[in-house]
Structure 1
């Protein structure tokens, strides 16, 4: 479903082999979060979504884990940014800004809303009602930063 959806908007994206259940469990354990159904569904089809220059529209599972752990644990950021523990980053704008879901204290993502974190002013701004709306909006340039 996700591959067809992306291809219905643009043929300029390619896909990788699906994420394994072990990889999904590792993300959830390491980041202490239950992944939203829509992100799990995309990972069941592909390990990220990439354009023709190999830039990710949706990060791979390993990049999600690596980058989220980096932002949550980098000491220097603790003095200049609000905590990142309540965000699950899954994509970037290519300019330093990152797209994310909001995580509640109990490690769940109850809303499919997508936000952008601005690296210059540390703001977190709503950009889309779901991953589907984010993907479509980013590809068609209806969403920008």
Structure 2
């Protein structure tokens, strides 16, 4: 399903699937399950890149690295609201990152603006997020 959706758009690069074991590691290390839609996407393609290499969905390993990084960064703790309830999974190539709210568990996608620390709802699902971001002209479609 996810490969077919992504292939509707031009300049999309898909990866080999992630392994179930690699996704289990991400969940164990972050202490929260992956949203089911994200899990299924990663089992079909371990990340999606769009125009200019923008990682609209990160590989499982990067999801783990980026979430661990923002949660453990001492400087971020003094600058931003906590990130523990979020699971980041992609970015716009300019610093803003996309996330699911994991506590409470939601299927909606939010954007975190790295300049203002705002967390704004942008899509009701991963599917709609992909349609919005892959169908845009590279601009910040969510603003």
1:51-98 Cα offsets, whole Å, 9 max, x none, are: 253321110111100000000000111111011001000011122111
Give the match's secondary structure for 1:114.
Answer: strand
CA RMSD, aligned part only? Answer: 1.5
Give the match's secondary structure for 1:35.
Answer: coil
Map 1:3-18 to 2 at 5 A. 3-8=3-8, 10-18=9-17
Runs of 4+ in structure 1 displaced over 6 angstroms?
none
How much has 1:33 moved relative to structure 2?
0.9
Contact 1:16 1:47 in 2 (8 A): yes
Gaps of 5+ in 1: none
Contact 2:97 2:111 in 1 (8 A): yes
Instruction: Give the Cα separation in 1 of the matches to 2:96 and 2:49.
Output: 18
1:3-53 Cα offsets, whole Å, 9 max, x none, are: 111112x13112111111110000000011111111011011011011253
Instruction: Give the Cα separation in 2 of the matches to 1:52 and 1:127.
Output: 20
Task: Please name the residue that 2:58 is paired with.
Answer: 59
How much has 1:120 moved relative to structure 2?
1.1
Instruction: Give the Cα separation in 1 of the matches to 2:133 and 2:54.
Output: 13
